[in-house]
Structure formats: C-alpha cells, structure tokens
Structure 1
Amino acid sequence: MLNLSVLLEDGARRTPDRECVVFGDQRLSYSLVNTIANQVAAFLVSRGIQRGDKVALASPNTPYFPFVYFGALKAGAVVVPLNILLAGPEIAYHLRDSGAKALFAFTGSPDLPLGERAFEAFNEVEECETYVDLPPAAGITESAIDGAETFWTAIAGQPGQFETALTEADDTAVLIYTSGTTGRPKGAELTHSNLMMNAAISHTMYEETDGVDDRFLAVLPLFHIFGQTTMMNTPLFRQATIVLQARFDGDEALDLMEREKITVFAGVPTMYWGLLGAKGEHDVAAIGRSLTTAVSGGSPLPAELAKKVTEQFGIEVKEGYGLSETSPVASFNDPNSEGGAKPTSIGLPIWGVEMKLVDEDFKDVEGEGPGEIAIRGHNVMKGYYNRPDATAEVLQNGWFRTGDIARRDEDGYFFIVDRAKDMILRGGYNVYPREVEETLMAHPDVSLAAVVGISHETHGEEVKAYIIREEGASLTEKELVDWAKEQLAGYKYPRVVEFRDNLPMTATGKILKRELR
C-alpha cells in the first residue's frame, strides 16, 4: 500500500509546527496544511468521490494547490492539474478526456479570468458534478462566480481528521497532460510509486543545509510536473518550507530569495535569464550565501547563460533532464557523482533508471550516436490515459522513447542535441537549433536566442533566429549573420534574423517555438 499524501502527513507528524507553506504574509504550518487537506478529502467523499475518480485542479502557485492536491489523494482520487492559461473549450476538453467528476478553479483576475472560463467549461461537461471556486483571499464565503460555492464554504464543518484511502503503489495518482505540441493533449498516468520515488531520489541530489532552515522557492508552476516534483513533493519529503511565488518576476524572486533565505531554487533557463535581467537593487552576496542548490530543467540550459549565473550568484547550476511521462526526473548532471558534472551535459541516469539511444525503428544505437533517448525505470508512466495506440507508439518492453536527440560520451554522460521535432532540414543537412542558439548566445550583444526552421523554395527549410539584444546594444541583422557565418558551418548559420523585445513563452517559461515558425 502507498499513498503519496504520506509526504504531507509524515511532516505533520514529525514537525507539526514547522512552516510548510509561505505565501505573502501567510505562514502555514505542516499541521495546518494537513488539517485543511483532510477537510478537502472529507468534502470530496461527502460529494461521492471514490477511489480512482478524477479531481481537476486549476490554480496558480497558492496554498490552494497543496490543499486540494493532497486532499484529493487522501480521498483516493486522481489529481488532474490544469494549466491556468487554458481557454474555456480547452478546459472542457480536459474535463471530458479525463472524466473528471470535480473541478477546483482559482477565481482569477480581469487579466486572467480563469474562474469564468472554468465554470463555463464545467457547465458544458455533464459528467463533472462538483465545482469549487478558489477565491483570492482566505475565508471568503461568497463567490464572484455566480452559482459557484467557494472553497471555504465547501470545507466549513468538515472534520480536520481523515483516514486516508488505501491505494496501491501502482495506482494512478496524477494525470499530467502533455503540452499538446502535436495533436490533442494526452494524459500521462503517473503512479503513487512513480512520484514518491522521484521525490525521494531528487532529495538526494540537493545539497544538505547543515542545520540551516531548508527553504525552497516554488515559482515553477505546480500544475507542471517539474514544479510539482522538485518544488512541492521533494521539499515535503525533506520536511522543508515551500515559499510560493504565483507568477515569475525576476525582481520579486530575488526579493524572496533574500528575505526568506532561500536554499533551493529550480527554474527553466528563461527564469535564470530573468534573474540576470532584474532591475532592482538586491544583496546578491547574501542570496549567494543562502543558496545551496540551483537546478535547471525543462529545456537545455545554454552554457553562456549558466556561466553568467555562476559569475553573478557564485553557485553552479545543476542541470536535470526529464519529461512529464518520466515523473519527470530521469538524469542529473551531479557535481557530487564519481565523474563530476560535465558542462552542457544532462548527466547520468538517476538511481534505478536506465537510458539508451535508439533509432527511428527503436533499435539500439551504439557508441556516441546521435540517437533518440529511451528511458526505462521506476519513473516511467503507466501509459497515456485511454490512449492504447499512443502508448504503444512510445512504450516498448518498458522503454519509453522521448523524442529527444542526444549523443553519449565514453563515460556514459548524455548531451542533448535537440528535440527531434525541432530539427531543421536545410538542403538535405540536419541543423539542430540548440547548437545554433548556443553559438548565438556567445555573442556579447545577444541576450536570448531562439532558432527555428522556416519554409524555403529550394532548400526546404531555412534557418531563422529570433534575438533579444542586450540592453543598449545596436547589433544589426547583417552584423550577426556575418559573425555567425564565421562560427558555424555554411548550412547551419541563420540567414534570417528578427529582433524582438520578448519571445512567446508557455506558462512554464519555455520558448513557444511553434508560434515563431
């Protein structure tokens, strides 16, 4: 028997008075967070939610997220986290596809009317029977969504004690929907065991704090598996404090790091770029003294960006690798491993996980490669919910094919070349955008680069670079093209450059390349 909610329950037993969640001026103990999660569980059971039923959750990084997440797990339900940027029809699709019987959604704001969208979607899906509004402040009993009950009304009178449902280790705990860059989003079934093992092993890869309060800054969206595992489940495993930031802002993040004495930060590369570009005054030395671990994931970390972070904060950024389907951590470039960390590498597979390279026919690729990464281990999903054909395409004999192209050195370290779907085919030659981006980022006037393929009459595809210049730089298209021509092979350098003040990004901070093509 195993239920992931033991992460919270164990902390409530061992360290009941320790700060579990910090959000603005709210400081919530392990005991209090666990009590409210118990009330959520009791409420769900009172509404007929049974073991295996789906409970959807659409919330930014607020205390509501762990309240509902662990409350649903305690009830034996499956959590379906939803991206808060989804439009109404997309929310309805996720509710129907998952078969969700309940939906908890944050009220939102005029800029992000999440509650309106979610309630409209809820009313379109007959199978979803319970809607709970998560209002902007604690204790609000009247909903801004006409016809909806608020969270605080729902749990009022519910007992603070709850006997957690018995679930098996291989029962589905969370249904994580893929981003849907190709086709409709699919729900990856992650088990209690998948997520527990990933949290426990992630814990071993963070530095010990030697008696100092262990404090994680959770700005990665918790609805995404990267944030969920590394910034919620792992700190709970360590009985650490989770400092929530609802939306990434470089200056606010640095303020929180300084004020809360943050010891662990994890982000995608664009967040590190945002920290470097922050305009406010911050005690960088104090931040560096507290910070023991900085982790990057979600997409490859450009070497130049990693170097700048180390120079400014005095800490080496550790790079991990994984996907929604792998809970997510699959490999880690750990300085404490026998071979140490290698620049630009995603490192070695974590404990209990195997990685190899395969070709398009799923046959092993020997030596350096390149090839597509395949993964097998305790972190691999059960499959895509109600998608046997899609599952069969990516899972074979326990091996999951990732769609990521990599090479492997003589020590077994893996180095991402690029996403298979992002590869550019120019005049019969393969061009990997990441290599071009790494090169462009080395130019002193380039702050951020994104490279895509655009259609071309004779070459099939042409290489195009979108560039954000360093502040005050006057770099021209011709100057950058001429410079890149000296750095890269003739078929690789970008012939087209477009300068932008910003680039489209997903809610998790990844550059949205499909909008640039």
Structure 2
Amino acid sequence: MNGIATGTADTGQALAPAIRQGAPLDVRPRLLGALLDDSVRRFGRRAAIDFMGRVTRWGELGVAVDRAAAGLQSLGVVKGTRVALCLPNTPYYPILFFATLKAGGIVVNVNPLYVERELHHLIADSGAEIIVTCDLAEIQARVLKVAGETKLRHVVSCPIADALPFAKRLGYKLVKRREIGRAPRDARHLYFRELMAHGASPTPVAVAPDEVAVLQYTGGTTGVPKAAMLSHANLVSNADAMVAHVGGEAAEQDRVLGVLPLFHVFALTNVLTFSARTGAEMILLPRFELKPLLATLKRTRPTYFPAVPTIYNALANLPAGERPDLSAIKVCISGGAPLPIEVRHAFEQGTHAKLVEGYGLSEASPIITCNPFEGVNKEGSAGLPFPGTTIEIRDREQPTRIVATGEKGEICARGPQVMAGYWHKPAETEAVFADGALRTGDVGYLDADGYLFIVDRIKDMILCGGYNVYPRVIEEALYEHPEVAEAVVIGVADRYRGQAPKAFVTLTPGATATADGLRDFLRDKISKIELPREVEIRESLPKTLIGKLSKKELVEEEAARAARSGDNGGAAGEPR
C-alpha cells in the first residue's frame, strides 16, 4: 500500500522530531483461529463467503475448517509443519488457511502464477511438506513438477468446479474440460474431498499467539524473496486496528469485495482476517476481470472495496454509461501501489465512491497508515498512523537519527503488527530494524498534522550524476497528461550520468500522444535531471497478479537489450 508526494511540507515546525503515534489500540494477543471460532459462534447463520453466487455460511465454514484440519493432521501436520497454499480466490483458501493453523501448522502463501524457479525457491526455503493447489492444469502441472524435485510429502488438489453453484459447475466442466488437470492416483497425491474424509474435528494443539502463523514472502522485485514471519498476534492486531479505524463493528453485516488474491498480504488483512474478526461476508472473485467485476458489484453491492490503483483506474476509464454507481459503498481502500491523484479524482467523479489511500508492507501485516474514512483525506498522502502504530522518519545514512518534521527520510514503523523477522535470515533481520523500528525502505516525510507523504522507494531511486531521482515524481507528472493511462519509470544505464530515467506508458483509447510530445509535456513539470531520456509507448505494461504495475520485467528487458547490443547507455539528457 503506497501513497506518493512530490514535495516537502512547509510545517513551521522544523525542529520537531518526525514521530507520530496512531490512536491507542486495545491489544489482546490471541490466535487467528479464535477470530473464526468467535464468528462461527456469533454469526453461524450469516453468509461468510459468496463465490460466484454460491454462499457458504459461517457455521458451514467452521465445520469445513475443522474437517480439513483433521485431514491435515492425518497427513502428518503437527505444530510447526509448513503447509503451502498455492490457490486462487475460492472457498478453499479460507478453509485451508484456518485449517492449517488449527492443526498447528504454518501457512506459506504462494502465488499460483509463480514460474517453476520461483515456486521451487519458496518450497525449498520454507521447508514446506504439504502443498495445496487447484486443478487448473497450468497451475497444477507446475506444482506437480516442483513436488517431484523437492521434499514435499503431499500434494492436495482442489477442484474448481466443486466450489461453484450447481449450474455453473456443470457449465464449467463442459466448457473448461481441457483446462482441468488430473493428479496422479497414489499415496502422495490426493483431492480435497479425500482430505475431508478423515474426521470431524482436529486434535487440539497448544500454540501461543506470538508464534509464527504465516510465512509471507516479499515481492522479490529486487533480489531473492524473503519470508516475513507473521505471528497470530501480528495479524490479529492488524485486524483489530482495521476495526478501530473503520469506527468499530457495524450494526449490519458488512460485505467485503475480495477481488485481490488472498495469498497477498493486503487482501489477507483487508478481506480475510477483517471478515473473520467482524463476521463480514467475503465476496470472492478468482481473479480481476472487468466484466465479471462489474457484474459482481451490481449483484452483491459490497460495503468495502479494497483494490489496487490499476483496478480503480480501469473503472474510471470506462465510458460514462458503463461506470458502476458505487455511492452505496462505505469506502474504497487503495493499497499495494501508489495511487496517482488523477486516478483518485477520476474514480470518485465517475463512480461517486469515496476512495482513500493506505500504506503498508508484508513485514507489518501489512497496514501502518491509512487516510481516515471520516475526516481530512489529504491529497497525495498515505494517511495517519494506524491505531497502535508509531511512524518515525529516520535519516537514510544515519538511521539512528530521527529527522525533523517535514524533512525527508526513511519511513520506519513500530507496532504490534510488525514481524519478528525473516525466516532463517538473521543478518537480513538485523538490517531491517533501526533501534527496534522496522525500516520500510521507502522515503517520505510527516507533515505538521501527522499525515505521511511518501516520495519513493529507496530501492527504486535512480542515481543520475550524483543526484537522487525518484521515479514517482516523474510518474505523477506523466499522469497529469490527459492521454496517459498508466506510467512506469525505471533507471537505465547511461554513459555520462551512470543512470538515467526511462518512462514506459500506455495511452487512453483513441489517444494520439507521441513519445516526443510526452517528453515536451514534462519539461515544465520536472527538473532537467528528472526528464526521461526516453519515453516508450506500449499497448500494455507488466503487472503482478494483484494488478500492481511491475517494474521487474522492464528492468530485466532493458538489461537484456543492453547486453545484446553491448550498449551501456546514451548521452546525457536526450534520447539516443
């Protein structure tokens, strides 16, 4: 979750230290399973999951979780056993997530679209012994191949069709039959229905709230992904803070739209644990597709809609007659990537919805700041510290020093949601803390009112002839152009300056803007050193599964292109 600002606040408090605490939070460490059990007890007949029109109630979910936990224990899951969940959004994910924890295991979240190399790393690094996946042939085939190369003892396949309403199930089996995979029939491989046939309830396991519940791997856009060790208490406290932030539990049941994948830490809290904490209904979509999303919004009328900027941008760019009326939604929560001001304005004007921006990271379960739902929603800001959270701005070169209010520095956080460290990586763990505060790797500042403004990621910073250039400054300027739909800026090799910015953009339908025209557009909006050496217009830009614009592929493309041509960059400031 990211907010971006391009300037420094004139606060009039130059000597005040840049520290701000969120509202007090009643921290009651407890197990994630306790959230589920409480909702099952309180809201057993309420809808818990709506998946493509098939509804599962909280009481039914509780029964399914207990049966799945007993099944996992029959496969040898004991306290500390790592169970990898490689699943899209279906009812299987909530069931297996809570079942793993009730059996005493640790959930390892895995992106189903990972290639074999990435999947192999996560399985080997986590030491997962069991993996649960779906029966989509493309995903299942990768999992089965990696299973044969690692120490995985069991592979559990979950049929997508079985999670659908009856009519859709029949249609799916007919239309998608070539996309349905088949697992080997042996002791190592089993289907979900077989897992559920081993008993009605698990054997209780003694687990403490401060013990690891989830291994949440960082994105890996730079270097090898690391697993943040998130405890039960970490995740429960962030769910508690979310409840406090929205003003407490609603008198009527909330409905949370889950278009973001639950294996991603943003949806893990904003959809899964928040719903388990409050008895809300999770409206799950297996992936982001515009037409199904529009139909689901109309059919289910959710009250909360967490998403990433690219999804809000897609809705804002629809023709006027096709934009959904979202005025009944309490709030839309943007995270996972920076929210351009222009996207926020276009979305709110086109849909009549309120859109606020928050900020967080995997290592903090993930939320550390968010704009208030009621009150001042400052433009370009990532909001105020979350309840129970302290934000500190520290000197990038001397992280033991806290800078002054309004001064840029590295954003650091303290709170009950902050991880204990990285899985089996003590050196990396030590490096990511400064005086006990979590270092986010992002540059930002606090204004006089305590709002956080983010400038950019330290790792994304481009060093141009000794000057620090932040890609988000350039991206924000590009979004001011009415024909720019999406923008990404990366650093590329430059013979004269060492690095230079290069911009990649997509245009709105029917646009006529040119690369040279876009560079000219930027000349009075950013400094000469920030002016991209080149602007490349593309039909589409790479995105992660949650719809976040991804720089990794573009960086790799540019590096490969330079290696093939033997080119190490053009002259300073102008396109080659």
Q: TM-score range by the shorter chain?
A: over 0.9
Q: Determine whether 1:323 maps to 2:365.
A: no
Question: Which of 335, 338, 344 does residue 306 from structure 1 map onto?
Answer: 344
CA deviation map 1:304-347 (0-9, x unaligned) = 0001111011122111111000000011111435xx22111112
Q: Percent sequence identity over matched residues?
A: 36
Q: Which has the higher contact order (CA 8 A, sep 6+)?
A: 2
Local SS of the residue matching 2:428:
helix
Within 1, Cα distance between the matches of 2:53 and 2:411?
Answer: 44
1:33 to 1:278, Cα distance in 2 relative to 1, 3 A = farther
1:269 to 1:143, Cα distance in 2 relative to 1, 3 A = closer
Question: Which of 113, 118, 134 does residue 158 from structure 2 map onto?
Answer: 134
The residue number in structure 2 matching 1:386 is 424
Within 2, Cα distance between the matches of 1:399 and 1:365?
Answer: 14
**How far off its partner does 1:55 sit?**
0.8
Question: Which of 159, 180, 183 does residue 145 from structure 1 map onto?
Answer: 183
Greater mean deviation of Cα atoms: 275-284 or 488-497: 275-284
1:19 to 1:501, Cα distance in 2 relative to 1, 3 A = same
Q: Determine whether 1:117 maps to 2:131.
A: no
Local SS of the residue matching 1:131:
strand
The residue number in structure 1 matching 2:106 is 78
Local SS of the residue matching 1:5:
helix
Q: Is the 8 A contact 1:54 1:78 kept in 2?
A: yes
Local SS of the residue matching 1:68:
helix
1:43 to 1:403, Cα distance in 2 relative to 1, 3 A = same
Aligned residues: 507
Q: Determine whether 1:500 maps to 2:538.
A: yes
Q: Which amino acid aligns with 1:427?
A: G
Local SS of the residue matching 1:448:
strand
Local SS of the residue matching 1:196:
helix
Within 1, Cα distance between the matches of 2:248 and 2:415?
Answer: 26
Q: How does 1:189-338 map to 2 (within 5 A)?
A: 189-206=229-246, 211-278=251-318, 282=322, 284-285=324-325, 287-288=326-327, 290-336=328-374
**How far off its partner does 1:96 sit?**
1.7
Local SS of the residue matching 1:516:
helix
**With structure 1 as the length reference, what TM-score do the two structures score?**
0.94
Q: Is the 8 A contact 1:384 1:390 kept in 2?
A: yes
Within 1, Cα distance between the matches of 2:467 and 2:483?
Answer: 28
Within 2, Cα distance between the matches of 1:210 and 1:78?
Answer: 31
Question: Which of 479, 482, 486 does residue 444 from structure 1 map onto?
Answer: 482
CA deviation map 1:249-284 (0-9, x unaligned) = 223212211110111101111111122234696573
**How far off its partner does 1:166 sit?**
2.9
**How far off its partner does 1:367 sit?**
2.8
CA deviation map 1:372-420 (0-9, x unaligned) = 1111110110100110011011024321111001022122221010000
**How far off its partner does 1:205 sit?**
2.5
Within 2, Cα distance between the matches of 1:516 and 1:408?
Answer: 32
1:31 to 1:163, Cα distance in 2 relative to 1, 3 A = farther
Q: Which amino acid aligns with 1:446?
A: V
Within 2, Cα distance between the matches of 1:238 and 1:209?
Answer: 6
The residue number in structure 2 matching 1:178 is 218
**How far off its partner does 1:157 sit?**
4.5
CA deviation map 1:85-140 (0-9, x unaligned) = 1122322221221111211111224xxx11111122122222x2222111222289
Local SS of the residue matching 1:233:
helix
Q: Determine whether 1:410 maps to 2:434.
A: no
Q: Which amino acid aligns with 1:257?
A: L
1:47 to 1:210, Cα distance in 2 relative to 1, 3 A = closer
**How far off its partner does 1:78 sit?**
0.7
**How far off its partner does 1:511 sit?**
1.3
**How far off its partner does 1:42 sit?**
0.4
Q: Is the 8 A contact 1:253 1:275 kept in 2?
A: no
1:213 to 1:258, Cα distance in 2 relative to 1, 3 A = farther
Q: Which amino acid aligns with 1:378?
A: P
Within 2, Cα distance between the matches of 1:164 and 1:202?
Answer: 29
The residue number in structure 2 matching 1:69 is 97
Question: Which of 386, 389, 392 does residue 353 from structure 1 map onto?
Answer: 389
Q: Is the 8 A contact 1:206 1:293 kept in 2?
A: no
Within 2, Cα distance between the matches of 1:191 and 1:427?
Answer: 43
1:156 to 1:210, Cα distance in 2 relative to 1, 3 A = closer
Question: Pairwise CA RMSD of aligned residues?
Answer: 2.0
Local SS of the residue matching 2:107:
strand
**With structure 2 as the length reference, what TM-score do the two structures score?**
0.85
Runs of 4+ in 1 over 6 A off after TM superposition: 207-210
1:262 to 1:300, Cα distance in 2 relative to 1, 3 A = same
Q: Is the 8 A contact 2:86 2:132 kept in 1?
A: yes
Within 1, Cα distance between the matches of 2:321 and 2:90?
Answer: 26
The residue number in structure 1 matching 2:505 is 467
Greater mean deviation of Cα atoms: 386-395 or 346-355: 346-355
CA deviation map 1:207-252 (0-9, x unaligned) = 6796554111101111111011101110221111100011112232
Within 2, Cα distance between the matches of 1:181 and 1:10?
Answer: 38
Q: Is the 8 A contact 2:316 2:343 kept in 1?
A: no
CA deviation map 1:465-511 (0-9, x unaligned) = 11111111101112111111022222122231111111001112221
Q: Determine whether 1:482 maps to 2:523.
A: no
Question: Which of 406, 417, 420 does residue 368 from structure 1 map onto?
Answer: 406
The residue number in structure 1 matching 2:87 is 59
Within 2, Cα distance between the matches of 1:459 and 1:162?
Answer: 62
**How far off its partner does 1:440 sit?**
1.0
**How far off its partner does 1:516 sit?**
1.7
1:89 to 1:440, Cα distance in 2 relative to 1, 3 A = closer
